[in-house]
Structure 1
Amino acid sequence: MKTTILSLTFVILCIGSASAQTENEIIQLSAKKWQWMSDKNVDSLSVLFHDKSDFVHMGGTWGKAREIDIIKGGFIWYKKAEVYSNAVKFIGNTAVLLSDMDLVAVVGGNDAINSFMVTEVYVKENGQWSLAQLTFSKLSRPVKLKTN
């Protein structure tokens, strides 16, 4: 009986540790993505973005090729993403990341700072995570980021 309880405890701890590790992997991947977007690193983004990915912005919705063109051409420059909290949920080979954040961007040549809840959907295929969907939902809370 004691051995069974110890074995079950070990299994539960291992599952919890693997889950936390996978959550951290998604959060770190997202952080890299924000840096690549800031750096306009379209080569790394092209690998990360799934070929069937969608991007939902305040000004429209489009796919991977258009998002890459927008970043490359500087129509939207994601200067800084200040993330305050993250929550990750897994459904099979899909990870959904919700991030409460402030985004400093240049959009069409104009500076913009907005508070967003950003939804990122990642799918794991052939052992690799790809970004399948990115949605910006404007929050009614004030911007927390100090810009001075």
Structure 2
Amino acid sequence: MSTEAEILQLSLEKFRWKTEGEIDRIADLFDDDLVFIHITGHQTTKTEWISQLRSKHFVYNRINQREAKVKAYGDTAVLVGKADFRVNGGSLYKLIYTEVYTKKKNQWKLVNLHTTSTY
């Protein structure tokens, strides 16, 4: 499987884990130094975001990926996509997002996630 196909599959699995509440799998995917920039511009660390997911302060009800493309650069891969996120019981966000993955100890880690609204 190509790196691009592997990252596309991993990103979709991440969405499934989010909607099914598999927080441990998400935590394992996120790099300890993850930088997550929300649509508001607020920056969150891995620890902060996982805590919000565990406490159900933020719940993903459904994620519908519209499109995604990946470009690999050795042990780094950048995914740019569009998706509809239904969260916290009904709020709908149409987002453009960028995910940056890097391979560490033979495992892909999400090191950067940046979201912006509207597409």
Helix, strand or coil for the counterpart of 2:26?
helix
Helix, strand or coil for the counterpart of 1:43?
helix
Q: How far is 1:41 from its partner?
A: 1.2
Gaps of 5+ in 1: 1-17, 142-148
Structure 2 counterpart of 1:54:
35
| 2:71 equivalent to 1:89 | yes
Q: How far is 1:111 from its partner?
A: 2.8
Q: Which has the higher contact order (CA 8 A, sep 6+)?
A: 2
RMSD of aligned alpha carbons: 1.4
| 2:80 equivalent to 1:101 | no
**TM-score, normalised to structure 2's length?**
0.91
Gaps of 5+ in 2: none
**TM-score, normalised to structure 1's length?**
0.75
Q: Work out the percentage of aligned pairs sharing the same amino acid.
A: 30
| Contact kept? 2:60, 2:85, Cα under 8 Å | yes
Where do 4+ consecutive residues of structure 1 move more than 2 Å? none
| Contact kept? 2:82, 2:95, Cα under 8 Å | yes
| 2:61 alignment partner, one of 70, 79, 98 | 79
Q: Which amino acid aligns with 1:47?
A: D
Q: Which has the higher helix share?
A: 1
Q: How far is 1:92 from its partner?
A: 2.7
| 2:113 equivalent to 1:134 | yes
| Contact kept? 2:3, 2:72, Cα under 8 Å | no
Rounded to whole Å, the distance in 1 between the matches of 2:115 and 2:24 is 22
Q: How far is 1:69 from its partner?
A: 0.5
Helix, strand or coil for the counterpart of 1:58?
coil
Per-residue displacement from partner, 1:11-35 (whole Å, max 9, x unpaired)?
xxxxxxx6xx221110110011111
Q: Which amino acid aligns with 1:135?
A: H
| 2:17 equivalent to 1:36 | yes
Q: Please identify the structure whose Cα radius of gyration is greater.
A: 1
Rounded to whole Å, the distance in 1 between the matches of 2:20 and 2:67 is 22
